[in-house]
A and B are shown apart, each in its own frame.
Chain A
Amino acid sequence: MGLLYGLIAVGLALIFGLMDVVNFAHGEFLMIAMYATFFLFAFFAIDPLLAAPLVAAALFVFGAVIYLFIVRFAVRAKANAGMVQIFSTFGLAIVMRGLAQFFFTPDYRSVPHSWLGGKTISIGGIFLPEPQLVGAALSIAAFGALYFFINRTDFGRALEATREDAGAVALVGIDKNRVFALGWGLGAALVGLAGAIMAIFFYIYPDVGASFALIAYVTVALGGFGSVFGAFAGGIIVGLVEATTAMILPPSLKSVGIYAVYLLVVFVRPRGLFGSM
């Protein structure tokens, strides 16, 4: 679970690290990905695991489009830039939730049986559900790929450079908007991947994103804004903390542990665990 949180959060961290924009519709991106997985299964009987790359690709396009049509203008705002970002992406979240309700109705749905659904595997006497295990493995793989992508490829360097100094980058002939759009696409694709995996073991409904979004923000902030590695580590911590609190406190209070740990961390270290100012 922690690794999945990490995967959701890495997408958010990427977008944030890129240009200081917190995507308040991040949870809704996740929701869309889960629906996409559901419909691929329902209409074409495509198993969520196979659907994952398709969904990630679709979300990539979606993220880039959202950047070009909405976020580009929000970033350009001169007055109250912070608030404009918060509220334009938040407004987007409301629209997406409304659209989901309109087209998919508020009913709860689930992917009835995938190749992995309900199976467990026993490692040294500990029973682990297979979907979660595969999800964790995929998360690690995706994170590795992203890490490689950012640190080793030209595009990754362009991202990094644009983040450092958008003005200077323009002089070298890099189109800032294109780089940012690709960055948003990449961030969204990661959420898409996470959504496809989560569709296997979570109910899907229009508000599902909201319940994960706050945890994603906490995860990113815990790791430190701007640090992709921090987001992944944050995800693992959040997952562990959640599992621990669930054992001590009643289930309805399990998120309290996560929030408390976040507060503790930032009070001691106001820029998160791996954040740099």
Chain B
Amino acid sequence: MDSEFAKRRRRELIVALCLAAIAATVPLFVKDVYVQNIMVLTLMWGALSQSWNILSGYCGQISLGHALYFGLGAYTTTLLFTKFGVLPWFGMLGGGLISAVIAMALGYPCFRLRGHYFVIATIVIAEIGLLLFHNWDWAGAALGIDIPVRGDSWMKFQFTRSKLPYFYFALGLACVAWFVTWWLEDSKWGYWWRAVKDNPEAAESLGVVVFNSKMGAAAVSAFLVAIGGSFYAQFVSYIDPESVMGFQFSLLMALPAVLGGIGTLWGPLLGAVILIPLTELTRSFIGGSGRGVDLIVYGGLIVAISLARPQGLIGLFSPKRKEAAR
């Protein structure tokens, strides 16, 4: 049994490495900038969803306020860069750390809440963050901040000539998020989280420190999401409160995981690979009219998929995993 499990985990790692290698070669064949753009976004949302999945999927604390950490990452990097000239690399780390600390500070009161009370608290907190940034003049208030172009280099994390470096960074981020999840799945934390998700009282009685394990999940999750936010800010080179902290970002992070299979290793990536190109394509092909047809299609798909496959699409691939995902 044990060796069987170890074998499965090793196989997953190998599959992931192969997929990453294949993904890395794709831009060599696909030169179309529009398609490359979609690939960057897909990888980024995959990574974000994977990070969201750590707190909400594995630990069962459904957060619909992760846009706060996304926005904090974006704002920290951008403000440090435009106001103090700090390189985005340090900004990224700073944003990640700030987000992790804030996630724990907010977790302290919030983790006492259950079910819908918790979900609504996360939404409300993110919304407060959004409103505060809206009114914070030093941070550009509602107008947002344009990130000035200061060259084209890895050091400054700005690339004007090609999307490829962004692609590779997004790929790296997705790999890191996947690997962290993979690694945590079989760690003490991973088991704790699943225990907390299934039955907090039983977990507590067996000596799992429920509160601390929720805090751990929140910190890891927020850190990774903030890195994604920093990346996004550099990628689009313009941020305003609505575009990095809006409620839709919290949902966009959750959707791929829900679609692919929440609380599973591959679910978020699978979901992102399906959902993000779909979103982008419906937006550009039928959304041009500005009349909301893309919304109708997109929303209809969400309804259909969530009703037809509540356990996520990952269940289609391995029937054995079905029980595990529960």
Contact = CB atoms under 8 A, between A and B. Distances in A.
Given A97-B292, A101-B295, A91 B125 contact: no
A102 B109 CA distance: 43
A206 B117 contact: no
Contacts of A272: 117
Contacts of B262: 80, 83
A88 B296 contact: no
A100 interface: yes
A177 interface: no
Nearest to B298: A94
Interface stretch (A54-62, A162-170, A217-225): A217-225
A218 B292 contact: no
Contacts of B280: none
B162 interface: no
A224 to B, nearest CB: 9
A45 B285 CA distance: 39
Contact of A74 (B64, B113, B306, B311): B306
Interface stretch (B6-14, B128-136, B148-156): B128-136
A252 B306 contact: no
B326 interface: yes
Interface residues of A, number: 51
B288 interface: no
B123 interface: yes
Contacts of B125: 259, 263
Contacts of B297: 98
Nearest to B322: A79
For the residues of B in contact with A, the DSSP-based class is helix
A121 interface: no
A104 B127 CA distance: 28
Given A221-B117, A225-B116, A90 B311 contact: no
A174 B301 CA distance: 34
Contacts of A214: 123-124, 127, 247
A42 interface: no
22 contacts: A16-B116, A77-B310, A78-B310, A79-B310, A80-B258, A83-B258, A83-B262, A84-B307, A87-B303, A88-B306, A88-B307, A91-B300, A92-B303, A99-B296, A101-B291, A105-B291, A214-B127, A214-B247, A262-B121, A270-B112, A270-B113, A270-B114
Interface of B: 62, 64, 109, 112-117, 119-121, 123-125, 127-128, 131-132, 134-135, 247, 251, 254-255, 258, 262, 290-304, 306-307, 310-312, 325-326
Interface of A: 16, 22, 70, 73-74, 77-84, 86-88, 90-102, 105-106, 206, 214, 217-218, 221, 225, 250, 252-253, 255-256, 259-260, 262-263, 266-267, 270-272
Given A102-B293, A263-B125, A267-B112, 10 more contacts: A70-B303, A70-B307, A86-B119, A88-B306, A96-B299, A98-B293, A99-B292, A252-B134, A256-B128, A271-B117
